[in-house]
A and B are shown apart, each in its own frame.
Chain A
Amino acid sequence: MKRILLATVLGLVLLYTPGHAQEKTVSGKVTSSEDGSPIPGVNILVKGTATGTTTNIDGTYTLAVPNNNPTLVFTFVGFKSIEQDAGSRTTIDVALEPDSRQLSEVVVVGYGTQIKHEMTGNVASIKGADIQNQPVPTFEQSLQGRAAGVYIEAGNGKLGQGIKVRVRGSSSVSAGNQPLYVIDGVPITSQSQSNGDGDTNPLTDLSPSDIQSIEILKDASASAIYGSRAANGVVLVTTKRGRSGKTNFNFGYFTGVSNPTHHRKWLNTAQYVELFNEARKNSNHLGIDDTGAQSLANRFTRYAAGSQTAWSDPTAADYTSTTWEDQVFRTGSVNQMDLSASGGGEKTSFYASGTYSNQEGILINNKLQRISTRLNIDHKATDKLSLGLNFSLTRTVNNRLGDDNEFSTPMQIVALSPMTPVIDPRTGLLSGVLDLNTGLPNSNYPLYFNPLIDANYATRQTTVFRNLGTVFATYSFTKDLSVRAEIGYDLLNQHEDKYWGKENQRNISTPNGSSRDSWTQVFNYTTNTFLRYAKTINDVHNLEVIAGMSYQESSRDYSNVEGQQFPSNSYRETTSAATITVGSTQETSFSFLSYFARANYKLNNRYLFGLSGRVDGSSRFGKDNRYGFFPAASAGWILTEESFLENNSTIAFLKLRASYGLTGNAEIDNFASRGLYSGDAGYAGVPGQRPSQLENSDLKWEQTAQFDIGVDFGLFNNRITGEIDYYEKHTSDLLLNVNLPGHTGFETQFRNVGKLENKGVEFVLNTDNVVGTFRWSTSFNIARNINKITDLRGQVIQGDFLSRAVEGEAIGIFYGPKYAGVDVNNGDALYYVKNADGTLSKTNDYNSATYMKIGNPNPDFIGGITNTFSYKGIDLSILFQGVFGNDIYNGGGKFMSANGDYFDNQTTDQLRRWQNPGDITDVPQARLYGANGTGESSRYVSDGSYVRLKTVTLGYNVPSSIVTRMKLTKARIYASAQNLATFTDYKGWDPEVNSDTYASNVNQGIDFYSAPQARTITFGINLGF
C-alpha cells in the first residue's frame, strides 16, 4: 500500500521484484599486512547492499551473504579498502594494507561526495577523530594549524566567545568575513546572537564528539555551488552515522586542569609609590600639574583603605602589596563524558550519542556547560527509496564575563593600585563594597570599580537550547538517476539572564541593583531538492551531474526587559524591580532562493572536468538586483595515469588542476537595500517617526573571482604526498558602508563600491617517515596570504585605535604616529614627522606627527606541523602551530604602560623610564597627567608572531588479549596537553588576541585587557564494547 501511494505521488510506476536469494555464511579474519596483527572494527559490506558487519576484537567476523557470488568490501580507517569476490568460499581471510595517505578517500563536497584524487577543487579535509577529546569550547579551535590557509583565532581566553575564521584572507571590508557553515547539508546560524559582553559563537552548541569529518571548501570550483555566500569559504560539517552490523558502544571520558598561558608583571607598592612620587615631582617642575606631595600621599592612603602605613611602611603589620592579576585567575577545570552507540540491521542503521561537558574557565566566574544528544537514522525502505533523519538537541549554559572594555571584566583588575587590600579591613568585605560613611558602595575607593564585586554580586548567564534536525529521502528512478530531497531546520533559543546587585552601584550607576533579561529565537530552515545522474560508459567516460534548488528562510525574534531597584539581592527576577526601565521587542528575517547545478566529467581516468553554477536570489539584495549567477569551471589531469608515468615507482601520483569561478558575499543587514523609516522618534510621550536609512535598490552581492592552480602529488609509493596551490581572489563591488555628505541628513549608505584582493600560496606535505612496527608520520602545512585593498574611491574606513582600511594596504593596518623613542636630553616622547623632501625628523608634538603605516595585524604566514609516532599500542602526536609576521596593538597601553600618566598600576617595564639627561631608554619621563607618550602610536605596536605547542597527546591502547578478557572491543587511555608552550616575543598576555569589545573586519590584532588562552592538561579514557 505504501509503495502504491508513493508511486501515485511521484506519478511513476515502480518495478519491484521481491525476492529472497538463498543465503550462506562467510567467516574469516582480518589482519594488518604489516605485522599480521588482527584489526578489530573493520567494516565488511556486501557490495551494493546495506548488509554488513564489523570484525571482533580478534579480527574475526561472521556474515550471512546471499548465494549469488557477492563481493565483500573491507574498509577501515587508515588502511586501503579491499574487495573480495566470495565465490563459493565460506572462509575469507584478508590482510589490509596501511594507507595513511588515503588518496582514495572520499571527501564531502556541496550536495554530494567526491573521491579526493579525482577532485579538481581545493578542499581541506579534517577527520573527526583528529579533533576529538580536545578541551576546547568549540570545534573550530581544534582546527588551528591543521588546515592550510585557514586562519583561526580565538580573541581571548573567555569560554564561548566569538572566534575569527578567515579562509584565504579577508574578502570584505564592511560585510561578513566568516565562512558559511553547513552541517549535514543545512546552512546553520553561525552569527553571534549575543546582546552585550562581546560576541558569542553559536557553533559552541555542536558537540565535537559527533563530528565525522570537516571539509573546508577553499577555491571557487569547490565553493561556488554555495553561490552568493561562498566568498569566505564554506565549512561543511558531517556528523557520524551508523553502519549495519554489530552495535558498537563507545564511551569516552576526560578530565583536566587549565591555567593561563602567561602572566604579566606589575608594580608592587614600593615601585608604584616611587614612580608616582617621581611623576608628580616632574609634572610640578614642568608646570603641567600642581598636585602637592601631601595630596598624593592622601590619595595613596585612600587607595590603601585609609591606612598611611599600609603603603609607606614595609615593616607595618598592615603593609599591603596586592598582585591583583592573581585574584581573577584560577586553575580551571574541564570534564567531558560521552557515550555513543551505532550499528544497524539490513535496512536500518543508527547513531545515537549523548555528551556532557563542563568547563570552568581560567577566569573567575567563567563557565561553559553543554549537554547534547544526537540521533542519526538511515533506513532503506525499498531498493529505490532510502530515507533518514538527523536530530540533535543541545543545552549550552555559559556563565559569561563583561567585555574587555568594562570596568567589571576580571582582567581590568590589573589597573587597581597595589596598596589596595582585597578585603577592606574597615568592613571585612571586598574593597569597594561598602563605604561606612554612607552605607553605600564606595564611590572613589579603590581607584576603579573592583571587578571582584561583579564576580561576587552579579550574574551573566546565557542559556541556549539548540535543535538541529534534518529529514531526507533519496529515490532512485533508474540505475543512473536519483533524486534527493531534504528539509533541515536550526532552532536556536537563547535566554540571557543578567543581574547586578546593589554592590555594583559604582559600575552600573544605579542604586539597589538592576536586571536585564533578553530572549532570542532564531528559526532557520532550508529545503534542498536535487537530481543526481551518474553514468560510466565503457570505463572511459565517467559523468556525474547534479542539479536542484534550495530555499532558506531565517527569522529572528527578540525581546528584552530591563528593571532597576530591587528590594534585596535575593530578588533577581525583573518581577521584583520597582522600576521597569526598558521593554523592547524586535523581529527580522531573510531568505535565499537558489538553483544550482554541477557536472563532473572524467575521461580515461585521467582528464577531469568540473562545471558548476548557482543562481542565488536573496531578500537582502535590492529589488533591481535580486538574482546573481555564480559559475565556476575547473580541470584536472592525472599524469600518473598516462603511459609515460604509469607504474613509475618514484612518482606514484601526480595531478595538475586549475579552477576559476565567481562567488559572492551577502553577509549584510537583512534590509540594507531598503529605504526605511523608524518609529523610535517619539517626543515627550507623543509618537514620532524619522527616516533611518536611505534606499539603494541597486544593492547586490559582493563578487569574488577566484583563480586557483594546484598540484597534488604522491612520491615513493605515496610515502610522501602533498599539495601546492597558488590562488588569487579578486573581490569587486565591495559591500561598503560609504560615508555620505552630512547635509543629506544621513551618515552612511551601503553601496557596492571598491575592490580588494587576496593572493597566496598553500603548501601541504604528508610523509610516512618510518613504517613498520614503529611508525612515524609527519603532516605539515604552511600558507601565505597577501591582502590588499585596491579601491575604496579614496575613502578611509576607520576602526578603533589606529586600525584602518585604506587603499593600497591590507585591511586593518595600524596607521598613525610613529614613535621615535625618548629625547635623551629631556625625557620627552618623540614622534616622526615627514618633511617636504621626504626625510624624517623627530618632534615632541604629538599633534604634528605624520600619520603613517606602523603595523599590519594580518599574518604573513600561518602553518602547522603534526608528528605522529606509534609503537605497538603506544601513540604520540605532537602539533605545533604558528602565526608569523602579524602585529598587535595594545589598546590598553596608554593606561597600563604610560610611565605614570594616571594612577592605573603600571607594567614593570615602565621602571626603565627616562630619569636623567643622557639616559637612553624607550620609556619617556614619568609625568603625572603629562600625556608624555600616551597618544596612540607605534609605541604600543608589537610583533605578534608565535609558535605554539598546540596539542600533545600520548595514548596507550590496551592489548587485545586484556581487552577481550574485559569483554571490551577497545580500550585506550591517554594524556593530552593543549597550548603546552608558547614561543613568542610578545610582551602581553597572549599573542593570539583580538579584543571582544572591538573585534571586527577592520579591528584586528587589538589587545585590550584580553584574557590569555588556557593551557590545559587532560587525562582520558575511551572504551569500545
Chain B
Amino acid sequence: MKQSIKNILYTLGTAFVLAACGDKLNMEPRNTIDDSSAVSTSSDVESLLVGAYSALSDTDVYGGAILRDAELMGDDGEIFWDGTFTAPGEIYTKLMLVTNLQAQDTWLDSYKVINICNIVLANLNVVTPDKVERIEGEAKFLRGAVYFELAREFGKTWVDGSPAQNPAVPLVTRSHYRKQFI
C-alpha cells in the first residue's frame, strides 16, 4: 500500500473514533435548579409563596430597615441616630446622597418580593383548586404591602403637590422573568 494512502486511511480511522463522542456539555446545576421546571406543580407555587415571605423578612425590607428608616425620616428631634453606618445617618439628617446604599438595597430587595408575588400570580393555574384563593390572596396582599411601603418611602409626601397625580414607584404587576433588558 502506498504510504500516502495509508496515512489517509489511518487519519480517517482516528477521526471516526473521535467523532463518536457524545454530547457531554449538558451539565446540570445541583445547588440550584433550572427555572423551566421550578414552578410546575401546586407545591412548587406554594414554596415560591413561602419564598416571598422569606424575601419580605430580609433586613432591608420588613426585617427592619423599612421600619427603621421611616422613623429616621419622620424624626423631628425626638430621636437621635449615632453609629458608623453612613446610610442611615444620611436618612436621619435628611441629607441623602445619590449613592445611599440603604436606598438601593431597600429598592432592590422590595422588588424581589414583588417579582416573586407576580410569578406566583402568573402560575395560579397549576395550584390545587381549593388553595387558589388563599395563595392568590396572600400574594396580592404581600405585593400590595410592599408597594405601600415603597410609595411611602420613595414617593412624595401627601402634602407635596397633588397626591393623586404624584408618581411614586413603578407599578409592576407581571413578572419580567426571562425577558431581556438593557
Contacts and interface: CB of A to CB of B under 8 A. Distances in A.
A909 interface: no
Given A591-B27, A695-B35, A11 B13 contact: yes
Contacts of A586: 30-31
A747 B112 CA distance: 9
A683 B57 contact: yes
Contacts of A744: 111, 115, 172, 176, 179, 181
Contact of B116 (A10, A587, A691, A696): A691
A387 interface: no
B21 interface: yes
B40 to A, nearest CB: 11
B182 to A, nearest CB: 7
Contacts of B44: 689
Contacts of B26: 619
A593 B24 contact: yes
B164 interface: no
Interface string A179-192: 00000000000000
A480 interface: yes
A553 B27 CA distance: 10
B162 interface: no
B118 to A, nearest CB: 8
B87 interface: no
B61 interface: no
A738 interface: yes
B27 A695 contact: no
Interface in B106-129: 107-108, 111-112, 114-116, 118-119
Nearest to A680: B54
Contact of A689 (B11, B51, B112): B51
A676 B33 contact: yes
Contacts of B119: 691
A448 to B, nearest CB: 13
Contacts of B50: 681-683, 686-689
Given A591-B25, A683-B54, A478 B182 contact: no
B21 A593 contact: yes
B66 interface: no
Interface string B23-65: 1111101111111101100001001111111110100000000
A695 B175 CA distance: 14
B25 A619 contact: yes
B14 interface: yes
Contacts of B11: 481, 531, 533, 547
Interface stretch (A502-510, A565-573, A653-661, A667-675): A667-675
B55 A677 contact: no
Interface string A377-396: 00000000000000000000
B18 interface: yes
B177 interface: yes
Contacts of B180: 696
Contacts of B177: 675, 691, 694, 745
Contact of A480 (B3, B23, B24, B35): B3
A586 B29 CA distance: 10
Contact of A688 (B48, B111, B182): B48
A547 B18 CA distance: 11
B148 interface: no
Interface string A572-604: 000000000000001111110101000000000
Interface string B51-84: 1111101000000000000000000000000000
A437 interface: no
A423 interface: no
Interface in B139-178: 169-170, 172, 175-178
Interface size on B, as a range, is 35 or more
B38 to A, nearest CB: 4
A479 B3 contact: yes
Interface residues of A, number: 66
B54 A682 contact: yes
Contacts of B10: 12, 477-478, 481, 483, 531
A923 to B, nearest CB: 23
B6 interface: yes
A696 B178 CA distance: 8
B55 A681 contact: yes
A747 B108 contact: yes
Contacts of A588: 29-31
B115 A745 contact: yes
A678 B21 CA distance: 32
A631 to B, nearest CB: 19
Contact of B27 (A670, A679, A738): A670
A548 interface: yes
B51 A688 contact: yes
Given A619-B26, A690-B51, A743-B172, A676 B182 contact: no
Contacts of B104: 742
A687 B55 CA distance: 13
B170 A676 contact: no
Contacts of A683: 50-51, 53-54, 57
A33 interface: no
A531 B16 CA distance: 12
A481 B7 contact: yes
Given A478-B3, A551-B24, A740-B181, A587 B30 contact: yes
Given A479-B3, A681-B54, A793-B182, A676 B29 contact: yes
A260 to B, nearest CB: 31
B53 A688 contact: yes
Nearest to A741: B181
A746 B172 CA distance: 13
Nearest to B107: A742
A10 B38 CA distance: 47
Contacts of B53: 683-684, 688
Given A479-B3, A480-B7, A676-B33, A738 B51 contact: no
Contacts of A349: none
A714 B179 CA distance: 60
A690 B7 contact: no
B39 to A, nearest CB: 8
A674 B54 CA distance: 23
B165 to A, nearest CB: 20
A742 B60 CA distance: 14
B35 A677 contact: yes
Interface in A725-749: 738, 740-747, 749
A977 to B, nearest CB: 44
Task: Report which residue of A738, A744, A847 has the largest number of chain B beta carbons within 10 angstroms of its beta carbon.
Answer: A744
Contacts of B49: 688
A670 B47 CA distance: 26
Interface string A456-485: 000000000000000000000111110100
Interface of A: 10-12, 477-481, 483, 529, 531, 533, 547-549, 551, 553, 586-591, 593, 595, 617-619, 626, 670-671, 674-679, 681-684, 686-696, 738, 740-747, 749, 751, 753, 793, 847
10 contacts: A478-B6, A553-B24, A676-B29, A678-B31, A682-B50, A682-B54, A689-B44, A689-B47, A691-B119, A749-B181
10 A-B pairs closest in CB distance? A745-B115, A688-B50, A681-B51, A675-B35, A677-B38, A690-B51, A619-B27, A688-B51, A587-B30, A681-B54
Given A674-B34, A688-B51, A690-B48, 16 more contacts: A12-B10, A477-B6, A478-B10, A531-B10, A587-B30, A593-B24, A626-B25, A675-B34, A676-B35, A679-B47, A683-B54, A689-B47, A690-B51, A694-B178, A695-B178, A744-B176
